[in-house]
Structure 1
């Protein structure tokens, strides 16, 4: 039986690969794939985001190697950053 953390890691990997490869490289998220992932998987977190260029900004910040796509490592950085921000918010709200 997997621990909660192992399940979370499996889910993270699974979600990434559900969206990657719909267009082109199966190991990277294109801008459209990233937009779909953000809307479908993080919709509630991003609901208050009214900036139409938010996906462009996120892609630019994450795309460390400048190839116009987000690989798994870059994706994990996004999830980790959002998790830290949520933890900080909830700790301050308590």
Structure 2
């Protein structure tokens, strides 16, 4: 668990390039490089821009760490629901 948390934080920090938030270009690169295997439409910049808009709670045009954690939480919940549904249908 510690390793997973460190990876989430380190990925954000590296992607932000030392800044406290991800601009559009950095956010797109992070999504494509690190989440392309579990998310759909990561090859479409329009889909990524819509995702960024949805996460940008303070409307500053960037994704801050808390907003990024919202995405991580959403993805974790989605994977959990999918795995629970798979187990239920296998029973």
**TM, length-normalised to structure 1:** 0.84
Q: CA deviation at 1:52?
A: 4.6
Partner of 2:58: helix, strand, or coil?
coil
1:44 counterpart = 2:40: no
CA–CA separation in structure 2 for the residues paired with 1:20 and 1:10 = 15
Q: Which runs of 5+ in 1 are unaligned?
A: none
- 2:84 aligns to what? 91
CA–CA separation in structure 2 for the residues paired with 1:92 and 1:37 = 28
- 2:5 aligns to what? 9
CA–CA separation in structure 2 for the residues paired with 1:30 and 1:12 = 17
- 2:55 aligns to what? 62
Q: CA deviation at 1:9?
A: 1.1
Q: CA deviation at 1:51?
A: 5.1
Deviations 1:3-31 (A, max 9, x none): xx22111111100011103xxx7010001
Q: Which runs of 5+ in 2 are unaligned?
A: none
RMSD of aligned C-alpha atoms? Answer: 1.5
Partner of 2:37: helix, strand, or coil?
helix
